[in-house]
Structure 1
Amino acid sequence: MATARQRWTQLERRLWTAVRRGDEVEVRSDGTDPTHIWGPTRTVRAEVIRELLLTPHTPLPGRVPSLQLSGARITGALDLEHARIDVPFGFDECWFDEPINLYAARTRTIYLQGCRIPGMYAEELRADGELNLRGLLCTGRLDVDNTHISGPLTLTNAQLSNPEGVALSADSAEFGGEMLCNGVRTRGETRLAGAHIKGNLDLTGASLTNPGGDALWADSAQIGGDVTAFGGFHAVGRTCLSDATIGRSILAPNAIFDNGDGPALQCDGIRVAGSLSVSASTLIGEFVLTGAQIGGSVLLRDTVLSNPGGYAFSGQGLRSAGGMFGTDLQVAGAFTLFGAHITATLSFSGATMANPDGNAFAADGTVVEGNAFFDDFSATGQVRLPGAHIRGQLNLERAAFGNAASIAVFLDGIIVGKDIVAGHCRIDGELHIINARVEGDLVLSAALLVNEGDALTADSLTVGRTLDCSRGFSCTGEMSLSGATIGHQLSLRGATLRHPGKFALRASHLTVGADIFADEDFTAHGTIELSPCRATGTISLATENVDGTVDLTRARADTLWLTGKPGGPILLIDATVRVLEHHPEDWPDPDNLDLQGLTYSSLQPIELPVGQWLKWLRRGLPDGYRPQPYAQLATMLRTVGNDRDSRVVLLARQRHRRRHLPLWSKPWGWLQDLAVGYGYVPWRAAGWLGVLWLAGWLYFRTQQPLPQPSPSTSDYQPALYALDLLLPVLSIGQRSAVHFPAPAQAIAVLITVCSWILGIAVLAGLTRALTRN
């Protein structure tokens, strides 16, 4: 050993002495320029370093042995494999010709600050202290797999370059303190798979570059503190934190993650106790949060996610206890949240998402415990929330959705605990909201819906309070509310529906708890179908701006109010209302009203003459005679105490019926009408009897009866004789007491026959009136 030491250089001997004293040996010049010619005064052999570290040193009084060398060149291979090193050692701005081997070594603190090394192999290294590689320049692989460092690992401002392989490998490593990588520059893969970092992982200002590969692979890593990437963090290649566990938060604002069309930031299965923030960052490629569990918030404010034609964000099964905030987020590609659970608020206010050939935003089955904000939101492509459950409000105010000629907003089966507010939104495509349930109001006031076919499909929708499509609401294409249930009110006041020649509004089997208002400048170009529908309160329909059919067949309402002269037919077939208000100036043209089966308890204005109501009724029988409309009008008039007008209506019914009878049966009808008004004008019978009696009396007072052997001829009275002829059943003795010549006798027979005919007509009319009314 003494012989070997005799060959040591002066610098090496100086270093030997300094180790015992714990002093630093500094031989640096103006830097460690690789082109600098190292001389013997600045060169130390690696074998000497090894001997200095492995040889026990007796400490001087008041001194702690350590090896500290600055500005030197280390030649040869520093092989400390399985070595047990009891003194701390450090190299500052030193140049190592060959990789350092610390495999399975046991040591204390290690400093390699500002050094240049071609690589380091330190798998299973055990260090009772820190591993400080600040400012290190490594041109090969830096391998610390399965290393156990009781203190921090410092790589601040280090440069690690191994472009064709792994630049830093720390798989399954354990660090008792922080891992400081702020300002680090890597070329090649950085690996932290299964690593356990007790403190923070600091990537502030770091640049990790591995195009087409993994920039950072930290699968299943456990980090006790925060992951921070402030100050312009930049990763080229995939950043993977799959199944990692983060004790506090991930904070990466203003960062750049770039992996082309592959995963840029992959965090599937990650568990974060605090928040995950990539606000104001740019991600080129997919951001994956599938199955992630976030104890705080997911923050995407002012972030750019770009993966056109692919998935920009994948959050299937994501759990976030603090909400998700993407205010002013910009997305190119699909943003998916299938089956996610957001415990607090979901906010994409002011966000822009574009995926023209697919789903721009998809959150099928997602649960949001708070409110969901999409106000001032813009989407090109389909927005999907089918089966989602939002316990608060869904806000779509001033949002713009574009997916022309297809479904733009797909909300089938959604459950919203409060309101859906979509005022002033624009939807270019179909709003599809079948079998959905909204506990509060659904507000579409001033919204603009445009689609070539179906614009709003809300079949079997349930709204707890009001469906508000008023104040400038415009729907171009079919609006369908078939089978919908609205707890309070449907308002279409001031709305405009356009679907010429087709259904503008289809609302068959609609049920409304209070009123339907489609008045106050309501306009519809196309058919309005409310057949059948049920409204507990009023149906108010302004028909003057409806140029298609208004179909209220089998509708049910307390009050039906029709205002304005319609441009198309109004069908009230089998409708049932308590009050029908329809002013004469609002009546449709003949043949444009169908009243068959309509029932009501009151007509307004009630003071309208019965003749006017008969004109209205005849307009409602375009295809011929129908008895029910007459009977209904008569019943209503009789119910309000107007028996006279009721009989007028029933008489009009018989006359209308007679026009449609065969010619051979019409004379009998004429006779009944003339005689007793079909039984509804019974006083006519007395008039006709009076006329016949007067005619008979005047005639027979000029006639002398034939002589009779009986003296009763002297009791002949012309007035009584005429009366006896008019009583076909009863007799007062005049007919049997006197006889006349043949001409007078023929007149007597004629009067008797007329009395029989008149009697039969009275009986038939009264029977009809009594049996039908």
Structure 2
Amino acid sequence: MEISDLTPAEQRVWRAFPTGVSVDFRESADEDMAEGAHWGPERTVRASVVRALLLNGPREPGEIAALKVSGARITGLLDMPYGATESAVRLSHCHFDEVPMLYGARFRQLNLSNSVLPGLTAATVRVEGVLRLTDARIQGPVRLGGAHIAGALFMDRTHLSAPDDSEPVLQLNHAAIGDDLWAPGMRSHGQVRLDGAAVTGAVNLEEAQFHNPGSTAISALSFDTGSDLRMRFVRARGRVDLRGSRVPARFDLTRAHLSNPEGTALRVSSCTVGELWLLRGVLDGVLNLRRAHLEVLYLDPEMLPDKVFLSDLTYTTLTPHEPAERRLHMLERDPRYEPHSYEQLTAAYRRIGDDYAARRVQLAKQRRLRTTRAWYGRLWGYVQDVTVGYGFHPLRAAVWLLSLLAVGSTAYALHHPHALKPSEAPHFNPVFYTLDLLLPVISFGQEEAFAPDGWYQYLSYGLIITGWILATTVVTGVTRTVSRQ
């Protein structure tokens, strides 16, 4: 392309390129780039001119060529599939009439900040430095699947939307980012897909908004970060799905508001996370933590939704410290009885030395298990619960025994049972006779020597049955205590 074929605006850009001088067409710093379709030829640059500069632009010895343009209208198709340029590219505050086609292209650095685009097709793009889309407004799919970005990806306050929901508005699936993914304040209307992506540094989505109600707002299956995943103050309408992802440091959802009332609001199943923070936020929908492995779970009980899936969830520490009654709500909101969940909570309390809370959790486990039994199993469970609290309240057995001992001793003191062999019978003692009936193992020789009649005989039957029940539940409780120690 010859410079004589260029418009005055394009000649400015062409002459500035060899030395990397910036060309700014803006009339004021607060211009609205959305009005770029009405800009005249004095600030219009054809995409073919941009392509020619990047692929075979003029060079000057001793200078570093770069394309730095602000406030221009880029007309036509910027078509650079598999193209490569050694020059830095900054097309900020620009308005693109057509979707740039950068599939498989290679850039030293690419900056489209504050620009307005109808979309961006740059799957498998290679960027040796950073890719900046800060404050960009993109009204079509952003295709960055399989991209390799050696530096950081900046999408802070980027607005993403699409005319239809046939595909995600942002595709970063299987992308590799060598530094941070920086997108605080980002806005998206449609699905954001991060499946299989790997970020060496941290991911910052604080105060971002994701809007895709009734479907998936964020899909990050097998997503891998090298540090934190920050989602403080995030607002998401639609499912947030991170199944199988890895966050070695902090996954922070403090004050996040995730809403998907008809389905799952947050899915962290099969994830490996250093610290999961669920504090002072709102979860409107199902919370799925199945098979997740967490070192630390920071959980605000008030943030729990009505339904929680906890099957095979493991965690080392649960904080802040709360009474067992407040933590048990989490387990009770799982539709299925999961004994492993109760054991996890018990272990968390025992690690910090709160054995009382651990016993409360174990008692709750037995009561939840009772609801899964047949009617006779539930009946026996109620008996154990009332008598000795499944062995976790052994003092109740003493109270029952003393009460029954008092009743039996009084009854038989007022009406002595007759001796079976009067000549051989020992002296009758109502207290030890009642103990013989209550205690199935110990014998004081009273029960074999005397036989009550009438309703006193039925009282003896009741004492014998009650004694067996109490003895069985006490042995169960002692066995459980010994096994814990």
Q: Which residues in structure 2 correspond to 1:417-496 (within 5 Å)?
A: 417-451=128-162, 452-453=164-165, 454-470=168-184, 472-496=185-209
Q: Is the 8 A contact 1:348 1:377 kept in 2?
A: no
Q: Is the 8 A contact 1:516 1:535 kept in 2?
A: yes
1:389-418 alpha-carbon deviations (Å, 9 max, x no partner): 33x43222222222xxxxx21222222222
- Partners of 2:218 and 2:457 lie apart in 1 by 76
Q: Is the 8 A contact 1:497 1:505 kept in 2?
A: yes
Residues 700/372 of structure 1: CA separation in 2 closer, same or farther (3 Å cut): same
Q: TM-score, normalised by structure 1?
A: 0.53
Cα offset for 1:432?
0.8
The answer to whether residue 463 in structure 2 is matched with residue 751 in structure 1 is yes
Report what 2:237 is aligned to: 525
The answer to whether residue 271 in structure 2 is matched with residue 555 in structure 1 is yes
Alignment-mate amino acid for residue 502 of structure 1: S
Residues 743/301 of structure 1: CA separation in 2 closer, same or farther (3 Å cut): closer
3-state SS, counterpart of residue 567 of structure 1: strand
Residues 532/772 of structure 1: CA separation in 2 closer, same or farther (3 Å cut): farther
Cα offset for 1:467?
0.6
The answer to whether residue 328 in structure 2 is matched with residue 614 in structure 1 is yes
- Partners of 2:252 and 2:388 lie apart in 1 by 42
The answer to whether residue 340 in structure 2 is matched with residue 628 in structure 1 is yes
Q: Is the 8 A contact 2:22 2:67 kept in 1?
A: no
- Partners of 2:81 and 2:19 lie apart in 1 by 19
Q: Which residues in structure 2 correspond to 1:401-412 (within 5 Å)?
A: 401-402=117-118, 408-412=119-123
Report what 1:261 is aligned to: none
The answer to whether residue 11 in structure 2 is matched with residue 279 in structure 1 is yes
Runs of 5+ unmatched residues, structure 2: 24-42
1:197-252 alpha-carbon deviations (Å, 9 max, x no partner): xxxxxxxxxxxxxxxxxxxxxxxxxxxxxxxxxxxxxxxxxx9xxxxxxxxxxxx6
- Partners of 1:756 and 1:414 lie apart in 2 by 77
The answer to whether residue 426 in structure 2 is matched with residue 727 in structure 1 is no
Q: 1:655 aligns with which of 364, 367, 386?
A: 367
Q: Is the 8 A contact 2:21 2:66 kept in 1?
A: no
Report what 1:353 is aligned to: 74
Q: Is the 8 A contact 1:340 1:365 kept in 2?
A: no
3-state SS, counterpart of residue 384 of structure 1: coil
Residues 388/579 of structure 1: CA separation in 2 closer, same or farther (3 Å cut): same
1:560-586 alpha-carbon deviations (Å, 9 max, x no partner): 222322333332233232222232443
Give the % identical residues.
Answer: 25
Cα offset for 1:644?
1.6
The answer to whether residue 225 in structure 2 is matched with residue 509 in structure 1 is no
- Partners of 2:480 and 2:52 lie apart in 1 by 73
Report what 2:101 is aligned to: 384
Residues 574/475 of structure 1: CA separation in 2 closer, same or farther (3 Å cut): same
Q: Is the 8 A contact 1:341 1:367 kept in 2?
A: no
- Partners of 1:565 and 1:386 lie apart in 2 by 40
Cα offset for 1:745?
4.2
Report what 1:546 is aligned to: 258
Q: Is the 8 A contact 1:478 1:499 kept in 2?
A: yes
Q: Is the 8 A contact 1:529 1:551 kept in 2?
A: yes
Q: Which residues in structure 2 correspond to 1:336-375 (within 5 Å)?
A: 336=51, 340=55, 345-350=65-70, 351-355=72-76, 360-375=77-92
Report what 2:309 is aligned to: 594
Alignment-mate amino acid for residue 415 of structure 1: R
| 498-507 or 362-371: bigger deviation | 362-371
Report what 1:578 is aligned to: 295
Q: Which residues in structure 2 correspond to 1:615-694 (within 5 Å)?
A: 615-618=329-332, 620-621=333-334, 623-694=335-406
Alignment-mate amino acid for residue 613 of structure 1: R
Q: Is the 8 A contact 2:90 2:110 kept in 1?
A: yes
Q: Which structure's CA Rg is the greater one? A: 1
Residues 338/436 of structure 1: CA separation in 2 closer, same or farther (3 Å cut): farther
- Partners of 2:20 and 2:182 lie apart in 1 by 33
The answer to whether residue 124 in structure 2 is matched with residue 413 in structure 1 is yes
3-state SS, counterpart of residue 161 of structure 2: strand
Cα offset for 1:723?
1.9
3-state SS, counterpart of residue 257 of structure 2: coil
More strand by share: 1
Cα offset for 1:525?
2.4
- Partners of 1:384 and 1:334 lie apart in 2 by 15
| 436-445 or 549-558: bigger deviation | 549-558
Q: TM-score, normalised by structure 2?
A: 0.81
Q: Is the 8 A contact 1:333 1:353 kept in 2?
A: no
- Partners of 1:768 and 1:338 lie apart in 2 by 79
3-state SS, counterpart of residue 509 of structure 1: coil
Cα offset for 1:469?
0.9
- Partners of 1:494 and 1:510 lie apart in 2 by 20
Cα offset for 1:772?
9.7
Q: Is the 8 A contact 1:672 1:765 kept in 2?
A: no
- Partners of 1:679 and 1:575 lie apart in 2 by 32
Residues 257/755 of structure 1: CA separation in 2 closer, same or farther (3 Å cut): closer
Q: Is the 8 A contact 2:67 2:87 kept in 1?
A: no
Q: Is the 8 A contact 1:678 1:766 kept in 2?
A: no
Report what 2:46 is aligned to: 331
Q: 2:115 aligns with which of 385, 399, 416?
A: 399
| 701-710 or 664-673: bigger deviation | 701-710
Q: Is the 8 A contact 2:140 2:161 kept in 1?
A: yes
Q: Which residues in structure 2 correspond to 1:57-136 (within 5 Å)?
A: none
3-state SS, counterpart of residue 279 of structure 1: helix
3-state SS, counterpart of residue 693 of structure 1: helix
1:713-747 alpha-carbon deviations (Å, 9 max, x no partner): 45332222222223322323233344444554443
- Partners of 1:707 and 1:671 lie apart in 2 by 34
Residues 663/558 of structure 1: CA separation in 2 closer, same or farther (3 Å cut): same
Residues 566/728 of structure 1: CA separation in 2 closer, same or farther (3 Å cut): closer
Alignment-mate amino acid for residue 317 of structure 2: S
Alignment-mate amino acid for residue 564 of structure 1: G
- Partners of 2:440 and 2:463 lie apart in 1 by 10
Report what 1:537 is aligned to: 249
Cα offset for 1:624?
4.4
Report what 2:408 is aligned to: 696
Residues 257/492 of structure 1: CA separation in 2 closer, same or farther (3 Å cut): closer
Number of matched residues?
449
Cα offset for 1:762?
3.5
Q: Is the 8 A contact 2:54 2:85 kept in 1?
A: no
Cα offset for 1:458?
0.3
3-state SS, counterpart of residue 11 of structure 2: coil
1:300-321 alpha-carbon deviations (Å, 9 max, x no partner): 998xxxxxxxxxxxxxxxxxxx
Q: Which residues in structure 2 correspond to 1:165-314 (within 5 Å)?
A: 255-256=4-5, 279-280=11-12, 297=18
- Partners of 1:365 and 1:626 lie apart in 2 by 53
- Partners of 2:135 and 2:330 lie apart in 1 by 41
3-state SS, counterpart of residue 381 of structure 1: coil
Residues 331/772 of structure 1: CA separation in 2 closer, same or farther (3 Å cut): farther
